[in-house]
A and B are shown apart, each in its own frame.
Chain A
Amino acid sequence: MADTNSTENVTVIDGAAPDAEATVETAEVKTAPAAGGADVSRNTERVKAFARSIAKVKAELAKDVVGQKDIIDNVLIAIVAGGNVLLEGVPGVGKTRLVRSLGKTLGLPFSRIQFTPDLMPSDVTGTNVIEKGADGKMNTVFQRGPIFANLVLADEINRATPKTQSSMLEVMQEHKVTVAKQTYVLQEPFFVLATENPIEQDGTYPLPEAQMDRFIFKLIVKFPSVDELADIVNMTQVTLDETAEAVIDGPTVMEMRALAKDVPVIDDVLKYAVNLVSNSHPELEKTSDTAKKYIKYGASPRAAQALITAAKVRALMNGNYNVSYEDIDELARPVLRHRIKVNYTAVNEKLGVDDVIGLLIQENKKLSK
């Protein structure tokens, strides 16, 4: 198990996880490194290529994943923004397939961890094992866990004990693992995609708020429509394997992340996002009526950071070079739904958290006019 309180030695692990997929170096964006010499035309071309790269990724994912357009968009936003995603959906809706296909498309090592009540932290992070060397001496060797990948699928994360869940905290937030006073830095990009099953709550351990806050988005994977379901069935009659091919790679993702940070945000939009988060707090003196009426506790400051970061990526993905109110509104539900707790009044009026966020958006629009 990881000991995060002890003195650390830092080691950068640049190798892929044991079960990682092969990396592919065919990314379009990668061909234009961010050089310090100011070749403006080349740099602007890189920016323009961002949207084209994303489009290619989406096209590849569409080969394996039927429908779920919003989920794919938001997952891609989260990856570029450097955040983790919590997927909630019933079994069989394609969560794992999405992640596997994503790993292939991005050309990134992928690992999957099935969380169970008996899963130990060391099963996630890895552990030191005694190994007999060639010279016959016994040496302690760190055996890397499945977390050592660029893309990690934490399947049914709420089925693991809080102890195991908490082992994910450092990894998700700081992208590093500490075992026996030795810290291992994970290779970027690092992305955790956790899933939750909204049904079968017996024997589960709901994620604590602190851990929930570390997910940039919580996405609800809906059951496919009849047409989509028919396509899924047809597709899987041919092969169960993912057919997507790598179109970009890790460095390209990192470069896209850097590019997205440059997207300008005007003060009005920034205030709009900040107010949206602030207005979710019922305890504040100047807050929204919605918060006072329906919210038990509001979103953390990380929500505002996440909104702006993700909005920048969304703007670029849509071919815009600035953040708009629309970007904030569209991302408000994925960003806020796991950070806001509605009260009994909302439950009594059969208002879900998404409904309450919708009311918050409406009120925020009025207040910002």
Chain B
Amino acid sequence: MSDITSENFRKIKKKYLTVAIVAACILGACLGVALTCTLAVIIKTTVVNFHWAIYIPIALVLSAGAGYLFFLILRPDDKRIAKKLDRDFSLNQKVQTMVEFAGAEGDMHALQREQTNEALGEVAKKRVDLKWLLKFIFVPVIALAMLFAGIFTPAKKSTGDYDPAYNMSAAHATALKNLIAEVEASSLETGLNLFIRLELNELLDMLEEAEYQSAMKGAVITAVHNIDSLVGDANSYMHIYGILVASEQLGGISTAIVNGVVDYKAVNRASLTSMKVVGNFEDTADDRIREVLESWKDYYFTAYEPKAEGEETGTPLPKGEAAEKLLPFAEALTDALSDDQLQKYAPNTEQQPTVRETEEGDVLYVRLTELAERLTTLALSSETGGYDNDLSYLNAIKGAFTSFIENSTVALSTQSYNCMMDDYIRNTLSRIFGINRAEFGSNAHIAPQPIETEQGGKDPNKEEGGGGWSPGDHKFGSSDEILDEENNESKKYSEFLDPSDPDKGTLYDKYFDRAMEYVADGACPEHVAAYIRQYFAYLRGDLETDGNS
């Protein structure tokens, strides 16, 4: 409580307090608005535009805080008021003296207070000078400026939230129907073929109803994932590999199976990136699978025919030793195939994948089971099986493996083909709808990369794909008959082409891939990206029409 007894001073102080409260409220509100509008401008230019109502509570809170701060700055302190009064009304430090010696006793102090109170009598009647508030004029000015800025700053369109409309074009519909037809004409197993077409037809239905780009993309990606699952269910080799590879004895054969599939697919990889009629893939690929498995077999049998130093050919192990070496392999294979996870591939089981629906079971599984049984028999009958010598026994074992390779190659090539079709469908859908392949996610769980093995794994001399043309690839327009005006003879279009020039399909692919990279990197807004996709879809439709004609 102040010791100041001057009534006039109290009156003046009351006036200053009122002014301080009002000024603090006004300035606080201005600063609150300025800060809120600044926040709004930042949000609008960097993120999204919130509804204007959300800024009201923010402005209220900021105004209250700013008002309190202003009150702390402007609140009338006795000493400050005294100094101001002395200065503004030329009171010769009377008020300051009165305030500073408020509690002092003595005649002189009493007189001083009395004199000051009298002097303040006239001052108390006057209005409070508000000129000093002018130094805060920048606050409402800034607030006004920020208010305009906040209101009129356009909100940045968020690429994440903006969803352009989608109306399936005739080009999209045609391309998708073409893909369905290609699948139908493909060499996919009957069940898998049917299910994939059903999936693509369902996609077609969904796209006809889709209204936005996001819905279109979602439907396509879902279809791709579903087709991946179908192919994954249809193919047994990855499941079998997963069980067999856990056994020390079976690592080599399981890896050879995977590499056989992958190697076959790799031969045809180049054709997967172009628009070609499915079904004309490398038909000698069975030999490639066989080579991989034979290569493993040769490596495996080096242990049965150890070579003496300086000899070119090895000497077969004695029957007994060979049987001892073979038995663990056969037992491991038998055990692995009896794993619960592989039972669905056995004949006459209810657990078979839906896409198969065959009572014979999975061919690869069946062949492996036959191999296991045969090897077990061989291992247990080395002495009783009627083998004349060690070599005849070894040849019997080799014969079992050779038989397995011959019989399983067809199964592996079929599964490899399934993988290729999966890749092909992915690529085709990517091109039709302008969706970057990376958005589909990886399908490595059904079509992995070749696995490194002790005997060398991948053959470095083989074509890995990723560019160029493979034998048998079909080029658009290359078989068209064109009239050569110079000699008035009809020639195939391919005869006119410079071998180094890519055809239209390849150009389209490169063009499309490059454009999609930019789109995926966010180089353009989504609505522009939609136009780009549509453009490629039309272009693709034209190319196909051109190619077909």
Contact = CB atoms under 8 A, between A and B. Distances in A.
Interface of A: 40, 43-44, 46-48, 259, 262-269, 320-327
Contact of A47 (B92, B96, B107): B107
23 contacts: A40-B110, A43-B107, A44-B107, A47-B107, A47-B108, A47-B111, A264-B101, A264-B104, A264-B109, A265-B97, A266-B97, A266-B101, A269-B93, A320-B92, A320-B94, A320-B115, A321-B108, A322-B92, A322-B112, A323-B93, A323-B97, A325-B92, A327-B92
Shortest 10 CB-CB contacts between residues of A and residues of B:
A324-B92, A322-B97, A321-B112, A262-B108, A43-B107, A324-B93, A266-B100, A321-B111, A264-B101, A44-B107
B92 A263 contact: no
A108 B92 CA distance: 34
Contacts of A321: 97, 108-109, 111-112, 115
Most buried by B among A40, A46, A266, A267: A266
Interface of B: 92-94, 96-98, 100-101, 104, 106-112, 115
Given A268-B93, A320-B94, A320-B115, A40 B104 contact: no
* A-side interface mostly: helix
Given A44-B107, A266-B96, A324-B94, 8 more contacts: A43-B107, A264-B100, A264-B108, A321-B109, A321-B115, A322-B94, A323-B93, A325-B92
A262 B93 contact: no
Contacts of A44: 107, 110-111
Nearest to A321: B112
Contacts of A323: 93, 97
A40 B107 contact: yes
Contacts of B108: 47, 259, 262-264, 321
Q: Which residue, of B92, B98, B100, B106, has the highest number of chain A Cβ atoms within 10 A?
A: B92
B93 A325 contact: yes
Nearest to A315: B92
Contacts of B106: 262
Nearest to B99: A266
Contacts of A264: 97, 100-101, 104, 108-109, 112
A266 B98 CA distance: 9
A49 to B, nearest CB: 12
Contacts of B111: 44, 47-48, 321
Contacts of A268: 93, 96
Nearest to A40: B107
A322 B107 contact: no
Nearest to A323: B93
Question: Chain B: interface secondary structure?
Answer: helix
Contacts of B109: 264, 321
A204 B301 CA distance: 137
Contacts of A46: 107
B92 A326 contact: yes
A207 B94 CA distance: 40
Contacts of A43: 107
B241 to A, nearest CB: 89
A274 to B, nearest CB: 15
A324 B94 CA distance: 8
A265 B111 CA distance: 14
A323 B109 CA distance: 12
Contacts of B115: 320-321
Contacts of A324: 92-94
A327 B94 CA distance: 12
Nearest to B83: A268
Nearest to A41: B107
A46 B112 CA distance: 14
A243 to B, nearest CB: 35
Contacts of B96: 266, 268
Contacts of A265: 97
A266 B110 CA distance: 15
Contacts of A320: 92, 94, 115
B109 to A, nearest CB: 6
A262 B111 CA distance: 11
A322 B110 CA distance: 11
Nearest to A319: B115
Nearest to A260: B108
B93 to A, nearest CB: 4
B124 to A, nearest CB: 19
A266 B100 CA distance: 7
A298 B351 CA distance: 112
Contacts of A259: 108
Contacts of A322: 92-94, 97-98, 112
Nearest to A324: B92
A334 to B, nearest CB: 19
A322 B114 CA distance: 12
Contacts of A326: 92
Nearest to B95: A322
Contacts of B93: 266, 268-269, 322-325
Contacts of B98: 322
Contacts of A327: 92
A259 B111 CA distance: 12
A266 B108 CA distance: 14
A82 to B, nearest CB: 18
A323 B110 CA distance: 15
Given A47-B107, A47-B108, A321-B111, A267 B100 contact: yes
A263 B101 CA distance: 11
A259 B112 CA distance: 13
Contacts of A47: 107-108, 111
A97 B189 CA distance: 141
A325 B92 CA distance: 7
B405 to A, nearest CB: 102
A326 B98 CA distance: 17
A264 B104 CA distance: 10
Contacts of B92: 320, 322, 324-327
Contacts of B101: 264, 266
Given A322-B93, A323-B93, A326-B92, A262 B107 contact: yes
Indicate the member of A40, A47, A264, A322 with the most B CB atoms within 10 Å: A322
A255 to B, nearest CB: 13
A326 B96 CA distance: 14
B493 to A, nearest CB: 96
A189 to B, nearest CB: 21
A48 B112 CA distance: 11
A237 to B, nearest CB: 43
A337 B422 CA distance: 107
A259 B108 CA distance: 8
A69 B115 CA distance: 26
A327 to B, nearest CB: 8
Nearest to A369: B87
A164 B112 CA distance: 45
Contacts of B110: 40, 44
A249 to B, nearest CB: 22
A27 B198 CA distance: 128
A324 B96 CA distance: 10
Nearest to A327: B92
A50 to B, nearest CB: 10
A82 B97 CA distance: 24
A226 B499 CA distance: 125
A263 B112 CA distance: 9
Nearest to A320: B92
A324 B92 CA distance: 5
B474 to A, nearest CB: 94
Contacts of B94: 320, 322, 324
A368 to B, nearest CB: 11
Contacts of A263: 108
